[in-house]
Chains A and B, each alone.
Chain A
Amino acid sequence: MQPKSDPSSRGVLTPAKRLVLIIEDDFLTRYTAAEALREMGYLVIEAQDAAEAMSVFTSGTHVDFVFSDINMPGSLNGLEFARWLARQHPAVPILLTSGEPQPAEALGLGKKRHFMAKPYDLDEVDGWLRQMLLVV
């Protein structure tokens, strides 16, 4: 299931002020996704790896949603970061993405974790955000 947002309902749905943390090591991919989500009305923080994302959380910044690549350089990949997030901030949902096939660990992750393959459509990201955050 890959939810799509209904453009005709954008005036009703209110993503504004929801803070999304994007974790992506590829600069252009990160910037493109972040800018598209900002245009949709989300507040976006950009992190290039899991260490930066953990730094954002430990600074006390309130994050509503994490959108993370799985394959990243650094001490933790996206799946390992998702495990850290589940322990430290279990209420925060995470959408994982990768250009590789869906890893077994990302299957059946429940309401707080989902997987979406690359290349992704940014409206599809918006759809997952709305579903996982119940932004209505």
Chain B
Amino acid sequence: MATEKIDAAIDVRDLTVAYGEKPVLWDIDLEVPSGVLMAVVGPNGAGKTTFLKSILGLVRTAAGSVLINGRPYADMRQRVAYVPQRGSVDWDFPTNVLDVVMMGLYGQVGWVRRPGRAERDRALMALDQVGMESFAERQISQLSGGQQQRVFLARALVQDADIYFMDEPFQGVDATTERAIIDLLRALRERGKTVVVVHHDLQTVPEYFDHVMLLNVRRIASGPVGDVFTEEHLRTTYGGRVSFVRAVAAAT
């Protein structure tokens, strides 16, 4: 049999995004192997969120291509799930937890049809996986930050995708939620899923993730944490904030 190159789960080539004349992301190449937990780290304004959004076709790209399991993202949309920053929506919207989770299935339910019992059961199972099953009927404005985050995770889980993109899921959550997210990420990896997480806490990168991408407009480095999460790369990524980088390097 002919040897066949195994496609990367995510293959980004020459991705460039500009707002006006200012490049936000410049010529990014990235291959993410299947079944890894990858952190995307970089200073504020490095383009981390924009990077996720451009992969998902949510912002206009000036150049570049994205392949998911070797095929264009547009064909693979159903295999990809997205967890936006929880601050990106209005949590006073009149709806409850179960309803938000079921939104993850709207793409599969089809036009005109309403989600029914099967969708409801799947949503409840997803809530169970994040420890929120008893909150199903809770109005979303009554959730704590950590609970909101777990509802967003459940909404992505219910899609039963192969690849997950999460934007700052650890931002401002309580210890219980942080623990729950970590367990969830590991469970996803066990099942062979690929997870890319925008992350802001450098200290926890080696503990939580096996792969890392250092980003600051350009891709500084990417690969297994042990190989690329070095003081030198961090210094390049974070520029002048050397003392900060040293502190992190010492801790890791």
A and B interact: no
Residue numbers of A with Cβ under 8 A of B are none
